[in-house]
Structure 1
């Protein structure tokens, strides 16, 4: 391989570094109407009366819209393949508001100042209802968050709104009762993860306009352009042919932009007024009006023999989906199906439910359920190791799967008996190499630094997917241009991950041309081929396979064209490094492009995810704790990852480092704090603590030597798995250093100081 598995520079790196106007807000027409949203001041209320007359009279106001002015239909904002499994429970504007920040009215004006002035003149009379604020007791609450009768689901996913249940998921694998009967040690523990915000740098932004034929054009910072097209058409009662969605550069998403938050409002205004319209969320609106990670509460039971063979798991899980059920069921099922898939057990039971509350909605966020579930399972594995007086790395070695083993969990057995279809599994290598890199045996469990400082080490394992089996799909179109360069058309969305670059690398490798001979264009639903979008760790594995298939098809197509030009049989034409050859002639791509300048050669191919091909990771961490202040500092973080063959070694490394830093944030810093009345206390970057580079000075990444035969050039995914080991590894490192076991995230310095004081008392 010449171009794949190299550190090729990011295609848009210089533009981004120099601040070129590439983002949605940079490109919006200057004459766009500016949209502001009046949001609910109550957690739960019914609108008794709304008066917009004064707002409508403000000069410069184009329109003011309420629930009386929008289509009366429910759908979901979650961006997944249709028919979407989330409850269809959201309306553009509703008579009932279900969280403090829910949309009440749309104001469109010529300037932001005018829109804000008009918004303040809207008078709303509410019937305030008792909110559901504790998700652990939501099913027993007297209030019903969704009392309407027109909400529905496409699938039987345990939707019981009368009990405040948005979705439920139950699975039994093997004989878990037998496993517990055969166990010498049984532990039962509770774990809790918090709501965290994706905190992407580019706010949610959309602008819309009508093109010269009257079609609605939606330009948005979204991970899911084709799903947005479908949702907009459905919401506005338009044929899908009348909606075009364009995605410019995205300044981060992390799953938040896998739900449609902003697209509907400017689309509605443009259709009502005929004018371009733009909405640009403030940072506070990002916190209070988009989505966050689902908080989870787990009751976990584990059984094992005295020599450390894990026999059974039993897990009960409750998640807070907030006011609307987008991604509720799929996050829960992802949590259930993969969190223990890398351990060999006699049996396993999972019983989970996602419940409605009057909080801002939860949604997709990097890791998608496996992050929360992984914290619970890896934490109880570490507790089991302590109970058995066993090294936690050696406990894992006794129980993890290896190449040739069958997964007991998940949607299929990943390791087929057909050896030609076996996935890679270098989990044992990741474990051993990580242990070596952190110098585990010399540091475990802890080392005293001084009278006031101590260091401890901890570890955890993780598994993820590479796309959603038999659901996720991607496509690629390749066009030969007149001087022999290629245009690659894709609809995978680069959120800063570098997928434009790595997909171009795959095309260049397959087409045997330099990388600069590939121009990439993404994503425009009128121009680029269908793709589910960038989520579920699917871009490299799924869309990358489509790119390779299209590239191979292009070479075969061009061989046929060369054969016709040279009047030889096609099987006499060979191709190598941009040159076609027969016994008597050669023809370069540049020359062929010129000869075909009156004939456009374009090929398209697609790929549906037909294998799970999980990536694996072992994470090791060393923390230093100040026993006087409770300050916890990550001294060293090691991640060893089996992601198959990295397509771009630099981009894979920074993906891993970024995910590890996000995991550190979830463990030690990030928390959506609430007052006793349920109000958000830290809806800004001033008060919502994010880790910086200084909070993890050393993050070391290595990749296991691995080649996935079902992936493009041996690749699997890497985008999500990198976040999942941080929380359980850090919590065990804290325990190993201090003897204090933390089971609820995050553990901030103030919280840990209190625990230290209690421990001293």
Structure 2
């Protein structure tokens, strides 16, 4: 049928199918700012203005829009002329991965059209239909209010950030919280000779510079994985198992292959049986290799059975329905406690898999670390406190579903376009699986994809590549939202048993953490991928006798994933809940107990393992501002006034809670990376860095490092981190070490280029290189003569006939430890069990802040993720092992209206780290929110809830149990 539409002011006639969604129509017409995040109108990524009203286009038929005026993000502003909303989002840091940004901007645009002077609550309500997993909503709300003021032609204040410089305390009060003020546009830079410099000499490092991709993201021009259209492209679909555990006895695909438009149908009979690991490890030869592209055994409901490629999505779906599969259903393990039972089914009986710790007992891996004599320690203790804590399975729920596009380019190279990280690992693995030389495989990762640590494994890339290898045609394979919940990856459940021994004065003498956890169907658990690194949570409170035991077990559930925090959040929920319980039983203040026992600068990091000591590596903690972080939270939460004095208002109880955490470890294997920098003829620099950096925010930080050393503005740094064709090879154990490896490589390469430039400039100016100064792209000699970097480049090319460029390889010797203190104020309804977080305060030990704009947004995003996991997020299974949580309505993510008041403080410490003394802040804020809330509930009710999330049902049951 023909449809007349006005799209962004242009009237056009289009042919549409009666059942075509408005989202699909707009995307095929090139309006890729309309994102596909779900199919039920719940995430807001596909928001379009229909006659000025925000509508989710994924649930609206194109035919329903006939005669309407449609506005997409492309019609709001352009890169050359941003709308005030787009400008405010860019300047404030309200964009990270940017996937949700167009929809959020359109909702805000409609609000300001009808209400030019909204309140904060009205803004939150207007944005409540737009979910975000990166920003924490505070920045977008602030941006909308700022844009509204700009549109009313009111003066707006300079942006401020709570950065605490060299904290000094007077009693219990922090008296020098300084606010960094940012005037927009962001400042240009100048670098000085050498590496880390005194603070007053740094020109780029420490400045609130916006995301270098911000303009693309706010205008909808950033290309995500599926924002491509290739000639002859096929659409892939995967048939998944309805059973949690079964053997495929027979599979018939003959009818599926007869469907018009179907080019390939693959089963385990059509692909090589090669074991691999979907997750990258520090040593690629360590750990379970227990996965297969397609297998005759299915190990969770949602596991792969067959794959189809067809000319249309409808033909692919029809082919899936015609595949006939006969299963022999086997008993399933749905709880890690069942995995060790003598009669438990063996989930990996196959002989081809290797690296499994004990396949006969379903143990994928075991971790054990011990200091002192734990039994002797408990014998010495004057009080022993034991507790068991439960953390459920949660889903990353990234708004951009897992997706991949594969094709052969003009050179017959296999190109894999993906939103997954670990690009070089994907390349290596595909070379083995497809028997293609790695040199003929290129992994492209669009720069926009930097959702926080949510896509770190091979999920669809191998199947998509197999379909392309079979058909020789481009293939697009993308999860639906339901498939994302059923077949993707999840943070697996933990059962943690704590036993703590103390003296009556609060001195910790023995601490033990034993955990059972599931890696799901395959060995991808973070504890495995980190080569069995012992608990980093226990390290926060070192004592003479410590023990950490972990059994990572196979179950018939989704494979585990390294979701933002690498398992630390689960451990800290148990540890910080336990510390509060110890303080309660001792009758002392919980903060006093922590201060008496925490890890201090100069202490040796515990449970580190003998391997690192044998290499002569220092395991001594070199810096910490944890005491200042806690003092800030304590003061802002009014701890002394409020803790233990719960306010009662009828059936509403108020409480406050605090928790501490750390992130990073000198004992964790660090990554290795490289960088290439070359000077261009006009004075700009191309910087080729690791592809796993993480997208716009990480690329911005890398650009700041290069600009600082090279003495130029950010505009002269051109970052390239999107393809394995130009990005140096890298390995990484965690996201934290990835940044240190990439940042260190960029810094080292920049220092080499700087030396080359100064050497040539010295010859040009007849001066010693060490006597020259480089500021804002100009090199000055002591006699006053000057030469620009562009002139240096021209002289090098045309006179000395040489290029100025450098390569560098870098492996960090250690990963600096980041600390955080977090406090919350909650209300609890004793009649319904509802927990409501009123305020969340976070103070992070940042070392030197590289970029306060980015750091603050990252911290707030982590807090939002933690709030959801603490209060509402949980994957639910039926008794047969099928996931019941298949929509975003079922899986309750916090939205803008749910968020509490947030305060964020960036507390600097003097760390000798290679990157100007910086520490990574992106993940640590995820760890302390859940125990802080649980501790606040105890303060309000006197009742401890030991299982997350703190749903009304669980809280109410705990209240009733305490009354018996």
Q: TM bucket by the smaller chain?
A: over 0.9
CA contact under 8 A between 1:336 and 1:373: conserved in structure 2?
Answer: no
TM-score by length of 1: 0.95
Deviates more, 1:16-25 or 1:299-308: 16-25
1:427 to 610, 621, 626: 626
CA contact under 8 A between 1:255 and 1:535: conserved in structure 2?
Answer: no
1:110 equivalent in alignment to 2:311? yes
2:225 to 24, 28, 32: 24
Aligned to 2:795: 595
In structure 2, the CA distance between the partners of 1:332 and 1:521, relative to structure 1 (3 Å rule), is closer
CA contact under 8 A between 1:33 and 1:110: conserved in structure 2?
Answer: yes
1:130 equivalent in alignment to 2:328? no
In structure 2, the CA distance between the partners of 1:426 and 1:298, relative to structure 1 (3 Å rule), is same
Deviates more, 1:209-218 or 1:489-498: 489-498
Partners in 2 of 1:508 and 1:684 — Cα distance? 44
1:276 equivalent in alignment to 2:474? yes
CA contact under 8 A between 2:676 and 2:806: conserved in structure 1?
Answer: yes
CA shift, 1:571, in A, is 5.2
CA shift, 1:577, in A, is 3.2
1:228 equivalent in alignment to 2:399? no
Give deviations 1:675-699, integer Å, cap 9, x for gaps: 2222211122121011123333212
Aligned to 1:442: 641
CA shift, 1:494, in A, is 5.2
Alignment of 1:447-486 (within 5 A): 447-465=646-664, 469-486=668-685
SS of equivalent to 1:223:
coil
Alignment of 1:278-357 (within 5 A): 278-327=476-525, 329-330=527-528, 336-357=534-555
CA shift, 1:237, in A, is 1.8
CA contact under 8 A between 2:821 and 2:844: conserved in structure 1?
Answer: yes
CA contact under 8 A between 1:198 and 1:254: conserved in structure 2?
Answer: no
Aligned to 1:263: 461
CA shift, 1:605, in A, is 1.5
CA contact under 8 A between 2:271 and 2:294: conserved in structure 1?
Answer: yes
Alignment of 1:147-158 (within 5 A): 147-153=349-355
1:199 equivalent in alignment to 2:397? yes
Number of residues paired by the alignment?
A: 756
CA shift, 1:253, in A, is 3.9
Partners in 2 of 1:418 and 1:281 — Cα distance? 44
CA contact under 8 A between 1:311 and 1:347: conserved in structure 2?
Answer: yes
In structure 2, the CA distance between the partners of 1:396 and 1:645, relative to structure 1 (3 Å rule), is same
Partners in 1 of 2:872 and 2:515 — Cα distance? 23
Deviates more, 1:133-142 or 1:37-46: 133-142
Partners in 1 of 2:941 and 2:462 — Cα distance? 51
1:144 to 330, 346, 362: 346
CA shift, 1:22, in A, is 1.2
CA contact under 8 A between 1:246 and 1:524: conserved in structure 2?
Answer: yes
CA shift, 1:81, in A, is 3.4
1:96 equivalent in alignment to 2:297? yes
Alignment of 1:75-86 (within 5 A): 75-86=276-287
- Give the unaligned 5+ runs of structure 2: 1-201
Partners in 2 of 1:541 and 1:434 — Cα distance? 28
Give deviations 1:10-44, integer Å, cap 9, x for gaps: 11112112222410111352532110001011111
CA shift, 1:467, in A, is 8.3
CA shift, 1:526, in A, is 1.2
- Give the unaligned 5+ runs of structure 1: none
Superposition CA RMSD, Å: 2.3
1:685 equivalent in alignment to 2:894? no
CA contact under 8 A between 1:52 and 1:121: conserved in structure 2?
Answer: yes
In structure 2, the CA distance between the partners of 1:66 and 1:468, relative to structure 1 (3 Å rule), is farther
SS of equivalent to 1:114:
helix
SS of equivalent to 1:15:
helix
CA shift, 1:572, in A, is 5.8
Aligned to 2:736: 537
Alignment of 1:140-179 (within 5 A): 140=341, 141-153=343-355, 159-179=357-377
2:917 to 701, 714, 720: 714
SS of equivalent to 2:867:
helix
2:594 to 396, 402, 427: 396
CA shift, 1:579, in A, is 2.1
CA contact under 8 A between 1:42 and 1:99: conserved in structure 2?
Answer: yes
CA contact under 8 A between 2:282 and 2:529: conserved in structure 1?
Answer: no
CA contact under 8 A between 1:223 and 1:535: conserved in structure 2?
Answer: no
CA contact under 8 A between 1:498 and 1:651: conserved in structure 2?
Answer: yes
Deviates more, 1:53-62 or 1:235-244: 235-244
Aligned to 2:121: none
Aligned to 2:269: 68
TM-score by length of 2: 0.75
CA contact under 8 A between 1:497 and 1:651: conserved in structure 2?
Answer: no
CA shift, 1:593, in A, is 2.5
Partners in 1 of 2:797 and 2:314 — Cα distance? 53
Partners in 1 of 2:588 and 2:641 — Cα distance? 16
Partners in 1 of 2:593 and 2:789 — Cα distance? 57
CA contact under 8 A between 1:466 and 1:538: conserved in structure 2?
Answer: no
Deviates more, 1:95-104 or 1:529-538: 529-538
1:626 to 822, 829, 837: 829
In structure 2, the CA distance between the partners of 1:491 and 1:701, relative to structure 1 (3 Å rule), is same
Partners in 2 of 1:738 and 1:495 — Cα distance? 42
Give deviations 1:457-498, integer Å, cap 9, x for gaps: 111111111687453122222121111011221124454671
CA shift, 1:616, in A, is 0.6
1:54 to 255, 263, 280: 255
In structure 2, the CA distance between the partners of 1:10 and 1:691, relative to structure 1 (3 Å rule), is same
In structure 2, the CA distance between the partners of 1:691 and 1:47, relative to structure 1 (3 Å rule), is same
1:2 equivalent in alignment to 2:203? yes
In structure 2, the CA distance between the partners of 1:369 and 1:748, relative to structure 1 (3 Å rule), is same
CA contact under 8 A between 1:5 and 1:645: conserved in structure 2?
Answer: yes
CA shift, 1:613, in A, is 1.2
1:505 equivalent in alignment to 2:704? yes
In structure 2, the CA distance between the partners of 1:58 and 1:200, relative to structure 1 (3 Å rule), is same
CA shift, 1:198, in A, is 1.0
Alignment of 1:182-193 (within 5 A): 182-193=380-391
Partners in 2 of 1:89 and 1:633 — Cα distance? 43
CA contact under 8 A between 2:706 and 2:717: conserved in structure 1?
Answer: yes
CA shift, 1:277, in A, is 1.1
Partners in 2 of 1:309 and 1:578 — Cα distance? 56
In structure 2, the CA distance between the partners of 1:85 and 1:180, relative to structure 1 (3 Å rule), is same
Aligned to 2:779: 580
Partners in 2 of 1:568 and 1:376 — Cα distance? 62
CA contact under 8 A between 2:280 and 2:733: conserved in structure 1?
Answer: no
SS of equivalent to 1:498:
helix
Aligned to 2:150: none
Deviates more, 1:491-500 or 1:197-206: 491-500
Aligned to 2:879: 676
